Structure 1
Amino acid sequence: MARPSIELVHDQPPASRLDASGTVARALAVLRTIADAGGEVGVKQVSDALHLPMSTAHRLLDLLSAEGYVERDPERRRYRAGLEWLRVSNRILSQENLPRLAVPMLTDLSRESGETALLSLYQPSHAAMIFAAKSDSPHMLRYEIDMYVRLPLVWGASGLSILAFLGAREQQAAIDRPHKPSASGEAFDEARLREKLTEVASRGYALTRGEKVAGAVGIAVPVRGSGSTVIGSIGLTIPAARFVPVHGDVYIAILKAAAARLMSRAG
């Protein structure tokens, strides 16, 4: 199973934004740090990640511990997600939401196409996206996709099929972020990006090669909410060796049908 090379983007707010924000924003940033660490963290790790004084990081961890959102291992002086955080998260996940509605449709897409199907959701507050639901390809050769990791909109079919249909201000906010090269080493270039966005907007879908995931072809279409607002995208990730260009029209047709069906179900 191949593992993609995916760029994380702005997993934490800039230090300047945290300096100017209150306790709530800082506490949320601490929770994000713990979540992204995938296990336990120490005070110094939180301090370094958020560019905060050690004393401030310690105080925030103590506040979260008092509410049950964080648990402390007194022997190792490490912190991990607490039971209250798990309780709240599971309550949210148990509700009928878009990723949950998308799962059976993504399963159908994987069955029809033989490839990994993904639902991406747009995060306006960070001018980014996350993969929120997926159905893996039945083939042994497929990509292991990291879920709920904040990713840039400027690379890959999933991001471009969102970015191309945003308003001018939102587009510029995403473009103005600092960007590393694509997974295949292409340097970010705003002029070239705008050419791609014009093509995507004209065609109604995005098709990319090796941008978010090295060695993969991505195809995606936008998912629209109320008032035609773009809220995400549905796409396929296909190993380049298995991609047959003449099948492109079929992929696009089933993706557009899935996007329409999803929003019909979501109401």
Structure 2
Amino acid sequence: MARNIQSLERAAAMLRLLAGGERRLGLSDVASSLGLAKGTAHGILRTLQAEGFVEQDPASGRYQLGAELLRLGNSYLDVHELRARALVWTDDLARASGESVYVGVLHQSGVLIMHHVFRPDDSRQVLEVGAMQPLHSTALGKVLSAYDPVAHTQAHEVEREPFTPRTVTDGTDFEAILGLTRARGWASDVEETWEGIASVAAPIHDRRRMPVGAVAVAGAVERVCGESGEPRPALVAAVRDCARAVSRDLGAGRF
């Protein structure tokens, strides 16, 4: 019988320890709880920290779980399940809004379109499933960056390309947009990525209230936005209702 790798067992034990009990633990706490020498515990913690599975508080020196675990947790939620849960609700949203509907997830420093419902008219359209969109300029990307710490980090690390004169590229201004997104629960893209196109997006959560994706409506600016230039309130409400419905189907409950 193959033997287990001791270092991996110890790393797994550390992650379980950090996942329960106190939010942050010091090196001595970790070492004594697992019966390890401080040097051994420190080496494993440094490796986990380098991989993003553990973070160290600069002020106290204590350790906690890192954002990379969120990415793994989101991957565990099968994207096919997310799409399956979204099918009916996104079809309803497309019919109600008269616009195209997209469901996107974080993938390789961008937004992967994993479901696309055509605008319900007779116009010629191209299926965009599998296409990538930027994090910093699209409504889907802003929502993911606002709610997902991994997406947030990646949005700040990548070059924020100015696709149009409206694209926000300054880091401080972009962070203000993410704060507004969290405050109101939705994001918009009014000609920031494509001239003449506007979109509205809201986050989708799982049973642990973790962000697993986002849903958006996109269409011509004159249809998506009102005279003020802002997205129409009824459309924003419809997108948020759709996101909540998909979230409930994923076990998020009422929120």
**The TM-score by the shorter chain falls in which range?**
0.5 to 0.7
Q: Which amino acid aligns with 2:135?
A: L
Deviations 1:149-207 (A, max 9, x none): 2332111111101111123x641232111232225573622122112111111111112
**In the alignment, structure 1 residue 137 sits paired with structure 2 residue 116:** no
1:156 to 138, 142, 146: 138
Q: Do the aligned residues in 2 keep the contact of 1:219 with 1:236 (CA within 8 Å)?
A: yes
Counterpart secondary structure, 1:220? strand
Q: 1:113 to 1:99 in 2, by over 3 A?
A: same
Aligned partners of 1:137, 1:219: CA distance in 2, in Å? 15
Q: Do the aligned residues in 2 keep the contact of 1:160 with 1:200 (CA within 8 Å)?
A: yes
Q: 1:174 to 1:96 in 2, by over 3 A?
A: closer
1:112: how far off?
A: 0.5
Q: 1:109 to 1:209 in 2, by over 3 A?
A: same
Cross-structure match for 2:148: 166
Q: 1:258 to 1:186 in 2, by over 3 A?
A: closer
TM-score w.r.t. the length of structure 1 is 0.57
Q: Do the aligned residues in 1 keep the contact of 2:144 with 2:151 (CA within 8 Å)?
A: no
Q: Do the aligned residues in 2 keep the contact of 1:142 with 1:239 (CA within 8 Å)?
A: no
Aligned partners of 2:188, 2:207: CA distance in 1, in Å? 25
Cross-structure match for 1:66: none
- Please provide the CA RMSD for this pair: 2.5
Q: Which amino acid aligns with 2:248?
A: S
Aligned partners of 2:234, 2:168: CA distance in 1, in Å? 31
Matches within 5 A, 1:180-259: 180-183=161-164, 186=167, 188-245=169-226, 248-259=232-243
Matches within 5 A, 1:1-267: 97-123=81-107, 126-140=108-122, 144=126, 146-167=128-149, 170-183=151-164, 186=167, 188-245=169-226, 248-267=232-251
Aligned partners of 1:96, 1:153: CA distance in 2, in Å? 22
Aligned partners of 1:96, 1:221: CA distance in 2, in Å? 19
Aligned partners of 1:134, 1:188: CA distance in 2, in Å? 27
Aligned partners of 1:175, 1:223: CA distance in 2, in Å? 22
Q: Which runs of 4+ in 1 moved over 3 A?
A: 139-145, 183-187
* Aligned-pair identity (%): 18
Aligned partners of 1:136, 1:117: CA distance in 2, in Å? 7
TM-score w.r.t. the length of structure 2 is 0.59
Q: Do the aligned residues in 2 keep the contact of 1:116 with 1:142 (CA within 8 Å)?
A: no
Q: Do the aligned residues in 1 keep the contact of 2:199 with 2:224 (CA within 8 Å)?
A: no
1:222: how far off?
A: 0.7
Q: Which amino acid aligns with 2:156?
A: I
Aligned partners of 2:82, 2:160: CA distance in 1, in Å? 29
Counterpart secondary structure, 2:179? helix
Q: Which amino acid aligns with 1:136?
A: F
Aligned partners of 2:124, 2:170: CA distance in 1, in Å? 29
Aligned partners of 1:229, 1:202: CA distance in 2, in Å? 17
Larger radius of gyration: 2
Q: 1:173 to 1:186 in 2, by over 3 A?
A: closer
**How many aligned residue pairs are there?**
170
Q: Which amino acid aligns with 1:112?
A: A
Q: Which runs of 5+ in 2 are unaligned?
A: 1-78
Deviations 1:11-49 (A, max 9, x none): xxxxxxxxxxxxxxxxxxxxxxxxxxxxxxxxxxxxxxx
